[in-house]
Amino acid sequence: MIALFSSEYCSPVGATAGKNEELTITEALRDPLIAIVMRADGVTSEEFKRLLEAAARELKANLANSIHGSGKEQATRTPAPSHQREDRRRDCRNDTEDG
């Protein structure tokens, strides 16, 4: 089962400190606080479930891609090293040079 929320991003404090703080989709759908927010937002349980399942599938696919080293996503996010960038300083105009 895929966890909805990772404890890596949670601070281990209070009564749940040191415990597994990850929610499954089923647990999220049963959570009373989440139910209150869903009602306030006009979101049905079925809509929320479909959203969570789609997010879980996307997360699983992204994790599989990162494990198999596709590298495509990383290449699009990582800027080129400074020695490979075009030097654009010569294109900048410094008004103090015009005297």
pLDDT score, position 67: 85
In a domain, 10, yes or no: yes
Range of the domain at 23: 1-71
In a domain, 96, yes or no: no
pLDDT score, position 7: 45
In a domain, 87, yes or no: no
Tally of structural domains, the chain: 1
In tens digits, what is the pLDDT along the chain, a chain of 99 residues? Answer: 455 555 444 444 444 555 667 889 999 999 999 999 999 999 999 999 999 999 999 999 998 888 876 555 555 555 555 555 555 555 555 555 555
In a domain, 1, yes or no: yes
pLDDT score, position 74: 53
Output the 3-class SS for 60-71. Answer: HHHHHHHHCCCC
In a domain, 92, yes or no: no
> How many CB atoms sit inside 10 A of residue 22's CB?
15
pLDDT score, position 87: 52
Q: Pick the closest to residue 24 from 61, 52, 65 (CA basis).
A: 52
